[in-house]
Structure formats: structure tokens, C-alpha cells
Structure 1
Amino acid sequence: MLYALFSVYLKMLVLYSPFFVLSCFISLTRGHSSKERKQLAWRVAFAAFIASIILYLFGKLIFGVFGITADAFRIGAGSVLFISALNMAQGKSAVQTDSVQQDVTIVPLTIPLTVGPGTIGALLVMGVSQPEWDDKLMVMVSIALASFTVGLVLYLSHRIERILGDQGLEIVSRLMGLFVCALAAQIIFTGIKGYLTL
């Protein structure tokens, strides 16, 4: 049980890509005070948690309404996640700094940076794949822990920025992109395998 919890937590953490979000968070909060940054960090973590829980719990309903099979969605979601991860691995900027004066909690920090299209697809697939409430509870705890970790990374943004510097953040962000690419490929292969065995 503990191993399964840790496994889902790590998967969620890779999907959230906290160091990629951190690099965007730093660029979007250049004019903010340390106190404002810390408050914003926990708001983003809470918003990511709520968005993820809603997607996870109501995934089955979404599949039912649109008549999409879980395997077809795995292939589509994995493809979107792979494209997003490829941009991340190549170090392409995901945000424009002209939105600094606006409230950036929900858009773009929560959606689409923390909970992006690929993460949304993965959460929907997980919701359908795990009908038992014991499994659902474990995933919800993992989502809470992963959201808290994202909040903690953003909360410590000043210190992390000072320790790693711009180049260090870029390297870590690109490494996260590679991990997300691998996860996306696994989702696609699982979908193809399931589709071919129908």
C-alpha cells in the first residue's frame, strides 16, 4: 500500500513538473515581494489540488458523455503530454511576461503549467482505470502530497533560485521534460496495447 502510494505520488510529481513550473513562476513574479510569492505558491498548490481531484473523480462521467474509450484517450492524452514535454525538454518558454500585472494563480500557473493538457488526460485515465474507492482514496492522498510538494518548491523559490541560478533551473527543467516524455510514451504504449487487444 505504501509502495503504491509513493509510486502514484512520484507519477503525479513528474506530471506536475514542479521545477518547470518554478522557472515560469520566477519569471512571472519578478515584481512581487517575498511575502506575495509565498502566498501565491500555496494558492497555486491548492488550485492544482482542487483541479486534479475534480478531473480524477469525474473522469468516468466525461468518458460516458463523449463515448470515448479509455485506450483512445490514453493515446490522445499521451500524445499531448509528449508534445508538452518535448517543448519542456527543449527549454521553450511556456509563458509570456506581459501577464505579470494580472493574477496568475489560475492562468497560467495552475492551468496549463501545473495541470496541463497531458496531466488532465492522465488524471482522467487514472479515474476510469481505478473503480475501487480504496484505490481512489490512495490516489487522492498522492495528489494532495504532490500538490503540497509543488507548493513547497514554489514557496522556496527565492532560495532555490539563489542556489541553482538560471542555468541550474533550466537544466533541472529539461531533465523533468525528459522524464515526462518517458511517462507520455508509456501512456501511449499502454493505450495502443489495450486498443489492439480489443
Structure 2
Amino acid sequence: MRRPQPLPEPLRGVPFSVGAARAMGVTAGRLDASDLEIPFRGVRIPRGASPPDIAERCAQYAPRLRPWQFFSHDTALARFGAPLPLGSDPLVLHVSAHRPNREPRAEGVVGHRLGERSPAVWAVGGIPFEHPARAWRHVGAAWQHDDLVAAGDYIVGRGGLVTLDQLVDEVELHATRGRSRLIRALSDIRPGSE
């Protein structure tokens, strides 16, 4: 078996988009070589890498993000270190876009189309993630009380990412779905609970 040609230096050892590789002169045959895997359509990674954690999984998908898309909901909270509900799969990615832009549709990705609001995005390692207070509010309609409290305790306490006042403002000003559940959870979140 013939060894594949080396990839251009910027593509070695990192996730990359097929479009970027093609722009650098990489052939379609090289992109299908046995030393590369396809974690998502249009993305390649080196074969044999260890199973990804949430940061690696986001980095694998990042070449597919459109300029208006960002990681959100469970994915943003997990990337910031907050605990997820028991049984949830942290490797299923949540990606959002604000109207009128479109959310992604891809295997292994849950797309969310959010209302017309200016995005609040934090870059972590050059990858866009939804602000923790917004991500926490967005999971309010799906998560149970104890899970919301645990994540809230983390992001206002040990994580030190937001203040309790920021969570309260986010719920008061913007929550529609899951509002009553979020309000109940707010009363049990304790800064410094770690």
C-alpha cells in the first residue's frame, strides 16, 4: 500500500475543511486517503486520534461553522465546564444561528434557529460559543430543576463565568420557554456553593 502524500503544513494534525484543502491544491483522492477520517461532512481529521472530548469535538466541527453560527445550549455549557444532565451525550453538538440566518443541518448536530437578537458570543480557542447566561437560559425548557441548579451553581460559582444577577436579567428580559422552571432554579442557585 502506497503512503499518502503529505498534506500542506497548515492542515497537518488539525481538523480542516475540504474547501480549505482544495483551495491549497489537495486532490479529492488525497482527501479520501486512509490516514484521514470524516467526523462531519466536509471536514477531515487525522485518523487514529483518541476519542474526542467536548473541546476536540467542537474543534472538529468548527471548520463547518458559518460566520453567523456558534455553539450553544448543552455544548456551550459543557465546553465552559458546567455539568450536564445524567444520560445526555456531550458529543452531540448544539449549534445556533439568529434569524434570519439559518442553523446547520448535519448528522451529530442539533441546530437551533434563535430569535432576532444580537448574538452574545465568546471565543474560546478561536471558536465561537454562546454566552454562558444565554446558554443556561436556552436549556431551561428541556432540563430538569436539579440539572439547571447544578449548571447555574457552576457558572456563577466555581466557573466564575457570570454573576447571579446576569442570570436573573437573562431570564427576566428574554425567557419565554421554560421561564417558570428557570425562575425556580434561580432561587436555588448559590454563588460559592462549590
Length-normalised TM-score, structure 1: 0.26
User: 1 or 2, which has the higher helix percentage?
Assistant: 1
User: 1 or 2, which has the higher strand percentage?
Assistant: 2
Bigger RCO (CA 8 Å, 6+ sep): 1
Length-normalised TM-score, structure 2: 0.26
Larger Rg: 2
